Amino acid sequence: MDALLNDAIAAARLARGIHLYYQERGFAVDTKTGPTDLVTQADRETEAAIKEYLLGRYPDHAFLGEEGGQEREAEYRWIVDPLDGTVNFAHRFPFFAVSIGLEVRGRLELGVVLDSTRDELFWAVRGRGAYLNGRALRVSATHRLIGSLLATGFPYDVNKDQENLTYFERVLRKGLTVRRPGAAALDLSYVAAGRLEGFWEVKLKPWDVAAAIVIVEEAGGRITGIQGEPYELGNRYIVATNGHIHQQLLETLHGSG
By C-beta, is 66 or 201 nearer to Ca ion? 66
Q: What distance in Å separates the CA atoms of residue 38 and residue 242, rounded to the nearest whole number?
A: 32
* Residue with smallest beta-carbon separation from ligand IPD: 153
153 binds, among Ca ion, ligand IPD, none (CB under 5 to 8 A by kind): ligand IPD
**How far is 251 from 34, CA to CA, in rounded Å?**
33
Distance of alpha carbon 215 from alpha carbon 199, whole angstroms: 14
Residue 85 contact among ligand IPD, Ca ion, none, beta carbon within 5 to 8 Å by kind = ligand IPD
Q: Which positions lie near Ca ion, rule CB under 5 A?
A: 66, 81, 83-84, 208
At closest approach, how far in Å is the CB of 157 from Ca ion?
A: 14
183 is in the binding site of which of ligand IPD, Ca ion, none (Cβ under 5 to 8 A by kind)?
A: ligand IPD
Helices (H) and strands (E) in the chain, counts: 7, 15
Please pick, from the candidates 100, 183, 213, 239, the single residue that binds ligand IPD as defined by CB under 6 A.
183
**In what helix (H) or strand (E) does residue 241 lie, and over which residues does it extend?**
strand 237-241
Comparing CB distances to ligand IPD, the nearer of 86 and 242 is 86
Q: Judged by CB under 6 A, which of 47, 109, 197, 208 binds ligand IPD?
A: 208
Give which of Ca ion, ligand IPD, none residue 101 binds (C-beta under 5 to 8 Å, depending on kind).
Answer: none
132 φ, ψ to 5°?
Answer: -125, 115
Residues 110, 1: contact at Cβ < 8 Å?
Answer: yes
Q: Is 220 in the site for ligand IPD (CB under 6 A)?
A: no
Q: Is 184 in the site for ligand IPD (CB under 6 A)?
A: yes
Residues 187-206 that bind ligand IPD (CB under 6 A): 201, 204
Site for ligand IPD, residues 116 to 145, rule: CB under 6 A: none
Query: Which element (helix H / strand E) includes 119?
Result: none
Residue 19 or 246 having the CB closest to Ca ion: 19
Provide φ and ψ at 7, rounded to 5°: -70, -35
126/179 with CB nearer ligand IPD: 179
- CB distance 125 to 5 below 8 Å: yes
Walk across the sheet containing 222-224 and list its strands: 177-179, 149-152, 198-202, 237-241, 222-224
Nearest in space to 65 (alpha carbons), one of 101, 111, 26, 35: 101
Residue number closest to Ca ion, CB atom: 84
Hey, which residues between 74 and 103 contact ligand IPD (CB under 6 A)?
A: 81, 84-86
Sign of the four-CA dihedral 87, 91, 93, 94: positive
Binding site for ligand IPD (CB under 6 A): 81, 84-86, 153-155, 182-184, 201, 204, 208
